[in-house]
Amino acid sequence: MSDTVDAEGEEIEIGDVVQIDPDADFAFGGCLLIVTELKGFGVLGFVAGPDSGGPSPSYYRAESKEIRRIGRAAFRVPELR
């Protein structure tokens, strides 16, 4: 069980996919983020972008009020192994 929740009170766990509120960030707003760490303020994780060697992560920290839980990542990516 996690103490970290999203803006709607949904529990967040490592490996969850959350969406960043479009109004929270000019560049990353609306992006899907894979959670790698739970923090008191919210989460740490990454937004995966394409790269010839596999997913290229852009690391991001988000406050609980800025995210909404979407579900679980279907595939494990290198950062979660």
**pLDDT tens-digit map of 29-50:** 999 999 999 999 999 999 987 7
- Measured between alpha carbons, how far is residue 35 from residues 15, 31, 52, 54 in Å? 5, 13, 23, 18
Residue 11 counted as domain residue = no
Range of the domain at 35: 16-73
Residue 8 counted as domain residue = no
Residue 23 counted as domain residue = yes
SS3 16: strand
pLDDT by position in tens, the chain (length 81): 678 999 999 999 999 999 999 999 999 999 999 999 999 999 999 998 777 777 778 899 999 999 999 999 988 766 544
pTM to 2 decimals?
0.86
Residue 1 counted as domain residue = no
Number of domains the chain is built from: 1
Residue 5 counted as domain residue = no
Residue 2 counted as domain residue = no
- Report the pLDDT value the prediction gives residue 76, as an integer from 0 to 100: 73
Give which of 69, 73, 40 is closest to 57, Cα–Cα.
Answer: 73
